[in-house]
Structure 1
Amino acid sequence: MLRQADIDETNQLALVRIAWCREISQPPAVNDPAKILALIGFAAKAHAAGAIDLAANLLWRAAQRCWWSSASDELCARVHDAAARLELPDGDPRLIAISAYVEPLRRGADLYLKLQGLAGTAHSDPTVASILGSTANIIGTFDIGVNFLAESSAVLRMQGRLSDLARVLFAQGWAEMEVGDWRGAMREAEESARLAEETGGLPWIAAATVLKARLAGMQGNLEQSEAYAAQAEALALSIGASFLLAMLQIARGVSAIGAGRHWEAFEHLRRLFTPADPAFNFGLQFFGLADFVEAAVSSGNADEASRVLDEIERASAPTPVPWVGTMLQYGKAFLAAPEDAEPFFLQGLGLQGAGPAAKKWPFLRARFLLAYGGWLRRQRRSANARAPLREARDMFDALGASPWSDRAREELRASGETSRRRTEQVWDTLTPQELHIAQLAAEGLSNKEIGARLYLSHRTVGYHLHRIFSKAGITSRSGLRPVLASISRPAD
């Protein structure tokens, strides 16, 4: 339809609108600096013609492309300066997003306050909620992002905007993973991949598969994790998406740490910080900071870890967002001499000073507790080590992070206390889609209503319910509530 449009070549604004439609409707060539320059040029023409809203949209997309491709500082500055010239209201979601995409660390603290101010406001436009949620993810405020993204996905689902829904579900799943809802995260990842495949969204098939690889790896399913990783890598390489490769290396790195293969984890994670590597991405480096420091220190590469931590601390000064601040404390605890480490543990856990406390990031907090308990035991303070190790064990159990649970139990045994093994729950045997269907059925939705919600046929829903009943040992929907009642979130 765009090719068939008959446009007067002298109508510059119409040409800009066509360019915008092409940009948002065609599969992106992700790493393409020329596209960023073109978008800046189109935005300038729109601005000159008084089409401020269109200019803002174009620059928002240009900023996204900067983040996707790890664009140069100069190119990022050009996008930011062009947005400043539009004189948009301070609370415009696109202006907030542009700042986040081009400078997520340096502007993180200011953007965090703005997002907090907008968090209590309902947004009827799913695009606005999606922009705010994705922006929150970009700077590491997943606790804020998850609510915006859930709000957006609910409206997109109702409106049948499936290609947009696929992308938002990926972002929602990533946020849910960070705030401790791993079952929800895998559910969103599965549906995101399915919808992206049906609507031709290649980057979001890859993104959702990266998320599945990371979740499987953290739960100790290493073979499945690497199968997902190989699939995602092939897709990411085909579209030249450095941000997806960076996310993938983080997924592989944390999986290797869980398996105790720290040198392998270091090799995966150092790629984010190597400019010549296809996985290099400045905007995503801090996402893997805690993993990189742990892997580097444990593999005899503490100097590299120290250099990276110093760079990220300088870039996020003077006030990092809480998630980044927690990772900085985690890194400092690993890098400190044994006799100097305790203050960093206490600050990161919120037990001393005004530290970020890690309370909203269950997996990171549990790792903090595990490391602190291990440090206490090595300092011959075994009695003191047991409380943090118990808490770590219980949080890892709730997440299903079995390699980390095993390590916590080993540390507890070394401190003089034994633990029972985690008991598998019925809902552990359900696939993410089966769990989602079971939850909707327990809420009283019919097969047709569930099918309409998930874009499945009612016969497919019936088939899944039959399998759910068989696995749970029940014969009707009335038995679902007791089965699902024991599901808890580590964040709670």
Structure 2
Amino acid sequence: ALGAVTALTRAAGLSPAPADQSRRLAEAAYIGVDSGGELADASRLLAGSRRADPGGNESLYAAATAAFLLVNEEGDFDTAHRLLTGAVETGRHGWDASDPALVEALFTLIMLCSYTGEPSHWESLFRALERLTPEPPELLRVCARTYADPARTGAAGVRTLDRLLSDVGHDANRLIRLGTSSVFVDRLAASRTASQRLAAQGRAGDAPVRWHLAALIHLCLDYFSRGRWAEATGLAAEGLALVEEYGYRFFACKFQYVQALVAAARGEAATVDALAREIDRWAAPRGAHGVRSYACHARGLAALSEGDFEAAYRYGAELSPPGTLAPYVPNALWGTLDLVEAAVRTGRDAEAAAHVAAMRECAVGDLSPRLNMLFLTCEALVTPGDEAFALLDEALAQPGQWPFETARVHLVRGERLRRRRARTEARAHVTKALEGFEELGARPWQERARAELRAGGNTTRSGAESGRAVLTAQEWEIATLAATGLTNKQIAERLFLSHRTVGTHLYQIYPKLGINSRAALRDALAALEP
């Protein structure tokens, strides 16, 4: 990327025609912001482009660069969207699908639309895609379909996405766009290895910062869904440090979202509140309504975790009104089970059933096994009798590893079985739920599972008694090494992790062991040995 910027800058200096000089400087500026160069350099190149041909039509590269710089600073997304849409509408490209500047502008519009969440913005983008001739580039069309409103347009894109993911390749831009297309249809695991490689290149200084950040956020979301929460929060901390160092402010909310979701499931209400406020504080004045849904989702999960079902319902309904899968709010799919459970537990059976009907109408379960698990569990919550058990069994049979969702399904099934007085079978399912929540460190959910076991007449282990089982294999390894006196950096080098990830693991290990300092590790681990 740096080589391309340098080559274009030199070519601009050799261009006799002002229009050519302006165009090349604008392209260099766009590559700079898109690939993660210094933002000040991109701003300087853009200014140079405008000086070179002040009376000419601004190129799409210049408009895309200006939009990016605008939203990264103090500007609002509506203005940036209007600027870039206007440039696309008036550009001299003939809607040629092979025009690289046009394609890059449309990818930038996808980013802007995802932040605003405005239906009119997305609709104008889809109209632009329809005008491309002979047809939109495959990845551009797939990204728009699966990232904008997956409940309604995702099904049209997942088959093509699966084929594209079968050969991720080594082009970083393509990898990032495949990852973006994968987020809301649960395909991030397919590009995990390539994203890990790109993140490693970023740490070594061999990949631009923006590519590094994009790889990190995709890994964060992937690890969160797969129950690798310590790694997710460790990478989020790494991402936020890069944001602070290099000024890519618009990335921060995504990392804060992952941190807030983990904190919500673990019952860390104060952390969720602080992160949600920070997201809102950045998003509100910029008109980033799509980003504010991150805060709403995290607050709803936090309320549900704490058993405040009324608040959980209120936040869930704000994210997506009951009976409607809110258009262009893709993370509303992740909150469906939260909303339906909160509705059932607050006596809003009609609202819960209406939301399940909306999920069924949109065939949400066809998008991914994880979303099918959520849909089947939601349907079971509003279904009486034995049919509910069949739905829950089908939910548990879904392929893939979704630890948090799986533990929640076991808990629902155990509750239903206890009410049917099938206590032995109920105990088995609730015990599996408890083990899953312990593995994740989801403390309020552990307490719910223990309360359910007690309601069935069973004794439960205390947190201290279950501490050995709570630690994952990696956490046990890190704790053991830390107890010998190794520093976080030394542990990271030995286990091929980042030192931030090691620190995050230790932060999660201490409360699991009932301690609050490194010095107490040795005695705590010794007490857990058989």
Q: With the length of structure 2 as denominator, give the TM-score of the two structures.
A: 0.74
**What SS does structure 2 have at the residue aligned with 1:227?**
helix
- 1:173 is aligned, of 213, 220, 230, to 220
Amino acid at match of 1:149: S
- 1:74 is aligned, of 91, 115, 123, to 123
Counterpart in the other structure of 2:279: 232
Give per-residue Cα distances to partners, 1:438-468, cap 9 Å, x unaligned. Answer: 55321479xxxx79x99xxxxxxxxxxxx99
Give per-residue Cα distances to partners, 1:45-69, cap 9 Å, x unaligned. Answer: 3355785222222112222333332
Give per-residue Cα distances to partners, 1:70-92, cap 9 Å, x unaligned. Answer: 32363243143145x353554xx
Give per-residue Cα distances to partners, 1:94-136, cap 9 Å, x unaligned. Answer: 3321222334223434533333334343532222211111210
* Distance in 1 between residues matched to 2:333 and 2:355, nearest whole Å: 9
1:337-356 equivalence runs, <5 A: 337-350=384-397
1:142-157 equivalence runs, <5 A: 142-144=188-190, 146-157=192-203
- 1:113 is aligned, of 146, 159, 180, to 159
* 1:410 matches 2:451: yes
1:358-437 equivalence runs, <5 A: 359-420=400-461, 421=463, 422-423=466-467, 425=471, 427=478, 437=489
Counterpart in the other structure of 2:71: 27
**What SS does structure 2 have at the residue aligned with 1:137?**
helix
Give per-residue Cα distances to partners, 1:24-63, cap 9 Å, x unaligned. Answer: 4443533455246335426x63355785222222112222
* Distance in 1 between residues matched to 2:128 and 2:175, nearest whole Å: 22
Counterpart in the other structure of 2:144: 98
* 1:199 matches 2:246: yes
- 2:60 is aligned, of 16, 20, 24, to 16
Q: Given the superposition, is the C-alpha separation of residues 48 and 213 from structure 1 closer, same or farther in structure 2, using an over 3 Å criterion? A: closer
* Distance in 2 between residues matched to 1:389 and 1:51, nearest whole Å: 56
* Distance in 2 between residues matched to 1:403 and 1:308, nearest whole Å: 26
Give per-residue Cα distances to partners, 1:183-221, cap 9 Å, x unaligned. Answer: 111011111112112222222222222221221121122
* Distance in 2 between residues matched to 1:31 and 1:435, nearest whole Å: 47
Q: Is the 8 A contact 1:97 1:131 kept in 2?
A: yes
* 1:134 matches 2:180: yes
Counterpart in the other structure of 1:245: 292
Amino acid at match of 1:382: R
Give per-residue Cα distances to partners, 1:202-250, cap 9 Å, x unaligned. Answer: 2222222222122112112222222222222212223222222111111
| Unaligned ranges ≥5, structure 2 | 1-43, 502-515
1:50-69 equivalence runs, <5 A: 52-69=99-116
Counterpart in the other structure of 1:331: 378
Q: Is the 8 A contact 1:108 1:321 kept in 2?
A: no
Q: Is the 8 A contact 1:265 1:295 kept in 2?
A: yes
Amino acid at match of 2:66: R
Counterpart in the other structure of 1:259: 306
Aligned residues: 443
* Distance in 2 between residues matched to 1:35 and 1:308, nearest whole Å: 37
- The alignment yields a C-alpha RMSD, in angstroms, of 3.5
Amino acid at match of 2:493: A
* Distance in 1 between residues matched to 2:211 and 2:416, nearest whole Å: 46
Amino acid at match of 2:238: E
* Distance in 2 between residues matched to 1:152 and 1:391, nearest whole Å: 36
| Unaligned ranges ≥5, structure 1 | 351-356, 455-466, 475-481, 487-492
Amino acid at match of 1:77: F
Q: CA deviation at 1:10?
A: 7.5
* Distance in 2 between residues matched to 1:435 and 1:391, nearest whole Å: 35
Give per-residue Cα distances to partners, 1:259-280, cap 9 Å, x unaligned. Answer: 11000111112112259xxx98
* Distance in 2 between residues matched to 1:468 and 1:126, nearest whole Å: 41
Q: Given the superposition, is the C-alpha separation of residues 36 and 283 from structure 1 closer, same or farther in structure 2, using an over 3 Å criterion? A: farther
Counterpart in the other structure of 2:338: 291
Q: CA deviation at 1:348?
A: 1.1
Q: Is the 8 A contact 1:63 1:79 kept in 2?
A: no
Q: Given the superposition, is the C-alpha separation of residues 86 and 175 from structure 1 closer, same or farther in structure 2, using an over 3 Å criterion? A: farther
Counterpart in the other structure of 1:210: 257
Quick check: 150-159 or 362-371, which moved more? 150-159
Counterpart in the other structure of 2:492: 440
* Distance in 2 between residues matched to 1:132 and 1:145, nearest whole Å: 8
* Distance in 1 between residues matched to 2:382 and 2:344, nearest whole Å: 7
Q: Given the superposition, is the C-alpha separation of residues 379 and 206 from structure 1 closer, same or farther in structure 2, using an over 3 Å criterion? A: same
Q: With the length of structure 1 as denominator, give the TM-score of the two structures.
A: 0.79
Q: Given the superposition, is the C-alpha separation of residues 316 and 58 from structure 1 closer, same or farther in structure 2, using an over 3 Å criterion? A: farther
